[in-house]
Amino acid sequence: MSTNGRYSGRLRTRGNANAGNDATTATAAAAATSRTALGNIANRERKETDNEPKPKKIKSMPAKIVREEKSEATLGPNPKPEKLPAASTSEGGKENDKDITEISTREAAAKKAATTKKGMLAHKESKPRNGGIKRSSGDGNISQPQRGRSTKRARKSDDVVAADEPVMSRRVTRSQSEPSRKKSSILRATTVDVIRADVDHVVPKDFALERSSFNGHNFTHGIAHYDASERMDPLLCKDYVTDMFQQLYHAETQSHPKPYMDRQADINEKMRAILVDWLVEVHMKFRLVPDTLYLCVNIIDRYCSIAKVSRTKLQLLGVTSLFLACKHEEIYPPEVRDCVYITDRAYDRQEVLDMEQTILRVLNWRISLPTAYPFLDRFLCLTKASPMTRHTATFYLERTLQEHDLLKYRPSMVCASAVILALNNIDIPKHEEGVDHELPGLPKILMEYTGFDADQLWKCMKLIADKVSEPAICASKRHLTAVKKKYEHKKYMSVSLVLRPPNILNVQWNDEKARKQANNSS
């Protein structure tokens, strides 16, 4: 008892309470050490053990017998284990016990899965989980649920499926599914119909850019041989690329704008060149994708070919067209306030929104139309162009956006002309070591795929070569060099700086008539 008259919350030894007492106090303290809330444990144990005989000491029990006794007590009755020789009491008894323990451990591990599985199922047979249907096994004594959580847990822990257990064929692990996926992908790649042309042609019939039987609903069967090697790349869509570009080619004949400056009273070609040059700088500043720039210029030309535009609203038309193209192509398009900022607040927010509605009404809400850029990657893949050739062709094609004269050619022809000029640039082999560069002239695969006339291609290439060789000049005699400065960067291998301008004389003509015409004009 404490000094303040309250009992302690727990029982503890009171041996130090009366340090000056005699042996009687010490005896009481020793007895208090064994007291608990249940009473004197020593006295209870003594009364229980006095009436029972003392058990004989044994060395060790084999692990197999121990485990089977545990399983019999917890999981249900099991057949009696085989009798093992008793442990020797001689000097080598310990070694014999170890050998017996190892043997019994190996035998117990071999029978662990089946014993555990049958015991668990027998223990759970009265209450099948998850509404499982009881199903009798081969011995007729044990019934197990056909589908249930206990079956899945046992399979996961033991990694062994009993012979009488139903197998879930739909559930497979990752290690089992990966080989099957690889096998199925190889099977699909080998069973696809690879279409080849005859000896005199490279492009198979009905696989060209223009197909006479195309109506937008009938598709080509199989895949061309020049696309079969890249069929496993999902980004290239080689299974559908033929039909996709046939649709783009068909759509550009009905939608690409024609030259319109003769119908405009307040703007001219140089004003358009200045606007596109400024849009290229804005495009670089916002780090937009190339498709956005081409679609923006396409929206401007289509709108100007229908409606009249004043020079005071030309920049508003350009920034609003860029805003619309970003909404269509970009993941995170710029906001309206960004468009107002880049115009140095020459227009307010409401003017941009009003112009956006006007453009959409004039164009009848048709925004997604083919430009020249989708054809660029397709033609470069067909001709197996090198990295520097790709950047050169992209530079030539982007430079054509500033030229109003090139609107008289369809976008796919302008793109094919830019690719042919890049393939025949004589300076590219000097800067790309280890790449076999042979001037292909007019590539046979590109000519058969596009079906363009060599005479038309020559005129388009001649115009592109002249425009790229001379920088665009505005009314104030200022050079418009935004595209040239863009491709001076190392990202584009500095193609506008280290390479000479394209020359149509470097193109080797297969047609004698076209060769004579090119030589006479030069």
**DSSP string of 384-449, one letter each residue:** T--HHHHHHHHHHHHHGGG-GGGGGS-HHHHHHHHHHHHHT-TTHHHHSTT------SS-HHHHHH
Do residues 456 and 431 make contact, with C-beta atoms less than 8 angstroms apart? no
Do residues 215 and 331 both lie within one domain? no
Boundary residue ending a domain (207, 238, 254) = 254
* 69 within domain boundaries: no
Residue 492 has pLDDT above 50, yes or no: yes
Report the amino acid identity of residue 55.
P
Residue 286 has pLDDT above 50, yes or no: yes
Do residues 378 and 457 both lie within one domain? yes
* 65 within domain boundaries: no
We report the CATH number of the domain holding residue 513 as 1.10.472.10
Do residues 194 and 297 both lie within one domain? no
Strands 134-136 and 143-145, bridge-based pairing: antiparallel
Per-residue pLDDT averaged across 21-38, rounded? Answer: 48
Do residues 275 and 212 both lie within one domain? no
Do residues 266 and 326 both lie within one domain? yes
Do residues 399 and 508 both lie within one domain? yes
Strands 223-224 and 194-195, bridge-based pairing: parallel
* 453 within domain boundaries: yes
Boundary residue ending a domain (196, 220, 254) = 254
Do residues 511 and 454 make contact, with C-beta atoms less than 8 angstroms apart? yes
* CA dist list (Å): 45 to 30, 34, 57, 96: 17, 12, 20, 36
Closest to 231 measured CA to CA, from 196, 190, 183: 190
pLDDT band at 516 (very low <50, low <70, confident <90, very high): low
Residue 429 has pLDDT above 70, yes or no: yes
Distance, in Å, from the CA atom of 16 to the CA atom of 14, rounded to the nearest integer, reads 6
402-420 as b/e: b if 16+ CB within 10 A: bbbebbebbbbbbbbbbbb
Do residues 231 and 287 both lie within one domain? no
Please, where are the H alpha helices in 207-289? 241-255, 269-286
Looking at the 3D structure of the chain, how many domains does it have?
Answer: 5
Residue 176 has pLDDT above 90, yes or no: no
Distance, in Å, from the CA atom of 312 to the CA atom of 246, rounded to the nearest integer, reads 40
pLDDT of residue 217: 82
* CA dist list (Å): 372 to 25, 103, 394, 420: 108, 78, 10, 15
Residue 450 has pLDDT above 60, yes or no: yes
* CA dist list (Å): 368 to 4, 108, 333: 92, 71, 16
* 93 within domain boundaries: no
Boundary residue ending a domain (362, 391, 422) = 362
Q: Which residues of 228-358 form beta strands (DSSP E)?
A: none
**DSSP assignment of 5-51:** S---SS----TTS-TT--HHHHHHHHHHTTEETTEEHHHHHHHHHHS
Per-residue pLDDT averaged across 427-454, rounded? Answer: 85
Conformation bin of residue 409: beta by default, left when phi > 0, alpha when psi is -120 to 50: beta
Per-residue pLDDT averaged across 10-34, rounded? Answer: 47
Which tokens go with 256?
């690409």
**DSSP single-letter state for residue 71:** H
Q: How many CB atoms lie within 10 A of CB 243?
A: 17
Range among 57-66, 216-225, 469-478 with highest mean pLDDT value? 216-225
| Average pLDDT score over the chain | 74
* 75 within domain boundaries: no
Do residues 186 and 288 both lie within one domain? no
Report the amino acid identity of residue 49.
T
Residue 314 has pLDDT above 90, yes or no: yes
pLDDT of residue 86: 46
pLDDT of residue 519: 55
Do residues 341 and 384 both lie within one domain? no
Do residues 387 and 457 both lie within one domain? yes
Residue 183 has pLDDT above 70, yes or no: no
* 64 within domain boundaries: no
Which tokens go with 112?
């662990």
Distance of CA 305 to the CA centre of its chain: 41
Of 341 and 60, more confident: 341
Distance, in Å, from the CA atom of 374 to the CA atom of 345, rounded to the nearest integer, reads 34
* 135 within domain boundaries: no
Do residues 399 and 414 both lie within one domain? yes
How would you class 236 by CB atoms within 10 Å of its CB: exposed for 0-12, middle for 13-18, buried for 19 or more?
middle
| Phi, psi angle pair for 493, to nearest 5° | 60, 20
Of 400 and 118, more confident: 400
- pLDDT tens-digit readout, 114-162: 555 555 555 555 444 444 444 444 444 444 444 444 444 444 444 444 4
pLDDT of residue 171: 39
* 355 within domain boundaries: yes
Give the domain extent around 262: 256-362
Of 233 and 450, more confident: 450
Do residues 305 and 395 both lie within one domain? no
User: Residue 472: beta bridge partners?
Assistant: 480
Q: Which residues of 105-219 form beta strands (DSSP E)?
A: 134-136, 143-145, 194-195
Q: Please work out, in degrees rounded to the nearest 5, the angle formed at the alpha carbon of residue 361 by the alpha carbons of 357 and 367.
A: 90
pLDDT of residue 410: 93
